[in-house]
A and B are shown apart, each in its own frame.
Chain A
Amino acid sequence: MNDVVISLSSISRSFGEFYANRDISLDIRSGSIHAIVGENGAGKSTLTKIIYGLLAPSSGSLSIKGNAVRFTSPRQAIEAGIGMVHQHFMLIENLTVTENIMLGDEGGSFFAPLKTKEAAGKIVSIAQAHGLQVDPDSLVSDLSVGEEQRVEILKLLYRDADILILDEPTAVLTPSETSQLFATLSSLRDEGKTVILITHKLGEVLDVSDMVSVMSKGTIVATKPTAAVTKPDLARLMVGRNVLLRVENPPDRPGEIIVKVSDLNFVDRKGRKRLTALSFEVRAGEIYGIAGVEGNGQSELLSILWGMTEPGSRIDGSITVNGLSLTKMNTKEIAAIGISHIPENRLRHAVIKEFSVSENILFGRHREHTFSRFAGFNTKSVHDYTKMIIDRYDIRYDMQSNPPLSALSGGNQQKIVLGREMERPGLKLLILAQPTRGVDIGAIEMIHKKIIQARDKNIAILLISSELDELISLSSRIGCIYKGSLRHEFSAAEILKGRSSEQDLEKEIGMFIT
C-alpha cells in the first residue's frame, strides 16, 4: 500500500542561468494525496511538467513505480499511468462529454466507426463509482466549470491513470463544488490511486492531503505529514518568515453614501440579461464585498462602473457616485471624478508589460497636470513620483537597469497597480476586482494592509473577490451575487460575529451564491 510510486532524485531544471527547480528529491507514496504548495514562481509548475513529460529535467532522474524513466512527451507519461488536469481545461466545447473523453484514445483503426455507446457506458460506471455526476451526451459548452473539471478527471480515469496531477483545481470552484471534489479525491485515494495536488491555498492542503511538500525558490524546503503541520507553519516555510495570515481589521467608521446602485438592469449585446434589479450602497470608509461565483454578473457590473460597456448593450436603472450618474460617462471621465479601478486581469488590463515601471505608474494617470510639461512629460516629477510609490509600496526590482515591467514578480507588479490607483488625487471610490489573484502570500499581507488603510482614510471600497476568506477578513458588509442580482446581504454585525467562526460563515455565504 505505502510503497513509493514516484521517486525524484536530484532533479534540476534551468532556463538559461535561472534555476526553476534545483536539486529536488522527493518520494511520493502510492495511495496518498500529496500536496505541493508554494508561492508563484516557486517552481511547482515546472516540477509537475517534468513529471508529466512536458519538460525534460536538465539533470537528475525520475522513476515511476520503480522503473527509471526519461519522458520526452506527455504520451509516454500517460502510458506510464500519469494523468494531469491543467488549471485551464483542455476540452473542445463543440464536442460532447463522451467525445471529449475518447479523444486521443478512440481505439480501432483510423476509419473505423466510433464506439461512442460503449464508451458512454464505461464513463457512466466510472462516474458513479467516484461521485463525478455528468451527462455523457451533453455538449461541453453547456457544462458548468465544476462539471468541466469532472470531465477532465473522468478523462484520466477512462485511460486508467493511477497517478493524477491536479494543478490549482479549486481556483474556479464554489465552496460546495470544492468539497465535492475533495470527496472524489479521497475516494480515489482509498482505491489506491495517487493524487498530486498543486495549490497555494493552505486551508485546502490541511483539509484533504496526507503529505505536504513546500516549495520555495525552486527547491523543496520541507516534506511532512499533513497531520503534523499548521497553517502558520506552512506559510512560514513558503515565505521564509512569519506571516500575518489575517490582516488586523480595526472597527470602521462608515460615513455618507458614496455609491448608490439602484434597480440596475443590464442586457448585453446579444440580448442576454446579465444584471437584474441589482441594488446596493457603499459608504465612505467602508469596504463592501461582493461574493459570487465567476460569471454571475460581476464583470458586467465592473464594466458599467468603469464606463466600458459594449456598444449595443442596454443599461436601465441608476448607478451614481457622489450623486453623479456613471451610466453616460466614459472611462476617462469616471477616473477624473476620483474613482480608481484595479481590474481582475492585471497583465491584460492594468499594466503594459513592455513599459518601464515609471511608465506603468503613469498609466491611466498620464493626463494629470503634475506629470505634464508642454506636449510631453515632466521627467523630474515623474521620476520623483515613481520613487515615492516604490518606497511607499515596497516595490522591489533592479532599479539600475530600468527593466520592463514583465521582469518584475507578480506581487511587485500588483503593488505598482495598487500604488498607482490608491494614490490617485481626490480618490473617493476604489474598485477592487480579485486584488490578490496570482500574488504571493507576503505581498497579500501588504496589499490587505493597504486596503484597510485606504478605508480608514474615508475612501469607499468595493471589493469583488472569489476568495471567501479574503472577503470575510476585509469587508464591512458582504452582498452575495447570484445570476445578476443580490440574493442576500450580510450586515456589518453578522460579518463581525462570523469572523470568529469563519468556516460556518463561508458555508453560509456559499449557500447564497450557488
Chain B
Amino acid sequence: MRNTLLKLLTPLFAVASALIVSALFIMATGRHPLDIYLKMFSMTFGSDYGTGQIVFRTTSLILTGLAVAIPFKVKLFNIGGEGQVLAGAFAAATAGFLLPSQTPPLVAITICTLTAMMAGSAVALFAGWLKVRFSVNEVISTIMLNFIVQAFVGYMLTWHFAVPSTVHTPEIIQSAQLPMFDSVIGIWHKSPANFSTLFALASCLGVWLMMFKTTAGYEMRAVGLQPEAAEYGGINANRHILIAMATGGAMAGLASTNLVLGYKHFYEAGLTSGIGFTGIAVALLAFANPLWIIASALLFGFLDYGGLTVNAYIPKDIFMVVQAITILMVLILTKKSR
C-alpha cells in the first residue's frame, strides 16, 4: 500500500521539482515564471486548438512509449524507436501513394497501417534476432539500426520517391487518409488531432491486457523478472524476446500513422525526428506501465507544445530542460525509495 502511494507520488514530485528548477531559468531570462506558466496554460489546455495539438503530440508519444515499454518487460532497452518509427512512416507513405486511388478507405487505411507496423516491427525484430542468435547487446544494435534506417530512407527519398525539388514523397491517396477529429465531430478546430489517437488508446489497453491477463504476458513478465527461473519453468525466453521486440517495433511503426496518414499525408525529411527518443522518457516516467504511459505521454505532449506557445518570450529549450530534469528526478527518486 505504502509502496503504491510512493510510486504514484514519484512522478508528481519529479514534475513539480522540474517546474521549480525551470522557474529559475525563466527568471534568469528576465520573465516572471508564473506569467509564462499561465500564458502557456491558456494557449494549451486553455484553448480548443491547443488541446488538439497536445492530443496530436500525445498520440505519437504514447506509441513510441509503448515501443520502449514492451521490450522493457523482458529487460531489453529498445533505443531504436527513432529508426522504427521512421521505417514505419516511410513505409506507410510509400504504400499510401502506390495504392490505386479508387481503393476503399477501410482497405487503404488497413493496408497502410499494417505496412507501417510491419516495417517498424521488422527493424526491431532484427535487433531481437541479433540478441537471441549472437547475444548482441540490444542497446547497441538498435542505435546502429537507427543510423541504417535513416540513411536508407534518406537515400530512397532523394533518389527515388521525392516529388522533384521537394523533400517529400507524393501525397497518399485520399482514401488512405485518417479523418480529423475536427472534420468528423467538430472538436479541436484546425488542429492536427486525428483518429489515430484511438489506435494509440486501444494499443495501451491491448498491451495491458496482454501483459497482465494472458498466459503469454505471464510468461513474458517471468522472463523479464528472472530469466533463469523462467527456463526452469519450461518457458522459452528467446521466443519472448523476439515477440517483445516485434510488438514494440510495431507500436513505433503505428506511431507514424498519426503523422503520415493523419496529418501530413506524405513523408518528408525529418517528419518523425525526436519522437522515438522522447518515447524512452515517456516509458521511463510511467515505469513502463502501458496504462500510465497515457498520462506520461500527455505530460510530454503538453511540455512539447507548451514550449512552442511561449517561444516568443522565452526559449522553448527551457522545456526540454524540464523534460530532462523530470526524468533525472524519477531515476533518483526510484533509486532512493528502494
Contact = CB atoms under 8 A, between A and B. Distances in A.
A354 B215 contact: no
Nearest to A374: B214
Interface in A124-164: none
A355 B215 contact: no
Interface string B209-236: 0000111101101100110111111111
Contacts of B216: 375
Nearest to B219: A366
B226 A348 contact: yes
A291 to B, nearest CB: 24
Contact of B214 (A359, A363, A364, A376): A376
B229 A351 contact: yes
Given A366-B219, A376-B213, A308 B232 contact: yes
Contacts of B225: 352-355
B231 A375 contact: no
Contacts of B221: 352, 355
B1 interface: yes
Nearest to A308: B231
A376 B220 CA distance: 13
Most A-side CB within 10 Å, residue of B216, B219, B234? B234
A309 to B, nearest CB: 12
A385 to B, nearest CB: 15
A363 B228 contact: no
Contacts of A366: 215, 218-219, 233
Contacts of A352: 221-222, 225-226, 229-230
Most B-side CB within 10 Å, residue of A335, A341, A352? A352
Contacts of B233: 331, 363-364, 366
Interface in B271-322: none
Interface in B224-271: 225-226, 228-236
Contact of B222 (A308, A331, A363): A363
A366 B213 CA distance: 12
Given A348-B226, A353-B226, A372 B232 contact: no
Contacts of A332: 234-236
By size class, the interface of chain A is: 20 to 34
Contacts of A330: 234
A2 interface: no
A468 B228 CA distance: 28
Contacts of A354: 225-226
A19 interface: no
Contacts of B222: 352, 355, 363
A500 interface: no
A303 to B, nearest CB: 10
A182 interface: no
B226 A343 contact: no
A306 interface: yes
Contacts of A331: 231-234
A362 B215 CA distance: 10
Contact of A306 (B1, B218, B228, B232): B232
Interface in A322-362: 330-332, 334-335, 341, 343, 348-355, 359, 362
A359 B233 CA distance: 12
A109 interface: no
Interface string A366-410: 110000100111000000000000000000000001000000000
B228 A348 contact: yes
B84 to A, nearest CB: 26
Contact of B215 (A308, A350, A376): A376
A377 B219 CA distance: 12
A350 B215 CA distance: 18
A378 to B, nearest CB: 11
Nearest to A371: B215
Contacts of B236: 332
A355 to B, nearest CB: 7
Contacts of B226: 348, 351-354
A325 B214 CA distance: 32
A353 B225 CA distance: 8
Contacts of B229: 348-352, 363
Nearest to B1: A401
A362 B226 CA distance: 15
Interface string B125-148: 000000000000000000000000
B213 A364 contact: no
A207 B143 CA distance: 62
Interface string B61-73: 0000000000000
A16 B283 CA distance: 31
B215 A343 contact: no
Contacts of A375: 213-216
Nearest to B216: A375
A349 B234 contact: no
B1 A343 contact: no
A376 B217 CA distance: 9
A377 B234 contact: no
Contacts of A334: 234
Most B-side CB within 10 Å, residue of A349, A351, A359? A349
A349 to B, nearest CB: 4
Contacts of A377: 213, 215, 218
Most B-side CB within 10 Å, residue of A362, A364, A372? A364
Most B-side CB within 10 Å, residue of A308, A353, A375, A377? A375
Contacts of B228: 348-349
A224 B221 CA distance: 50
A306 B231 CA distance: 10
Interface string A455-486: 00000000000000000000000000000000
Interface in B59-114: none
B54 to A, nearest CB: 34
Nearest to A333: B234
A359 B215 contact: no
Nearest to A351: B229
Contacts of B215: 366-367, 372, 375-377
Nearest to A375: B214
A484 B85 CA distance: 54
Nearest to A377: B215
A133 B225 CA distance: 44
Contacts of A353: 225-226
A366 B229 CA distance: 14
A203 B236 CA distance: 44
A44 to B, nearest CB: 25
A331 B236 CA distance: 9
A352 B235 CA distance: 13
Interface in A210-231: none
A342 to B, nearest CB: 10
A376 B218 CA distance: 9
A425 B50 CA distance: 60
The 8 closest A-B pairs by CB, nearest first: A332-B234, A364-B233, A331-B234, A375-B214, A349-B232, A376-B213, A376-B214, A352-B226
25 contacts: A308-B231, A308-B232, A330-B234, A331-B231, A331-B232, A334-B234, A335-B234, A341-B232, A348-B226, A349-B228, A352-B221, A352-B222, A352-B226, A353-B225, A354-B226, A359-B218, A364-B233, A366-B219, A367-B234, A375-B215, A375-B216, A376-B213, A376-B215, A377-B213, A401-B1
Given A331-B232, A348-B229, A354-B225, 13 more contacts: A306-B232, A330-B234, A331-B233, A331-B234, A343-B232, A350-B229, A350-B232, A359-B218, A363-B222, A363-B233, A364-B232, A364-B233, A377-B213
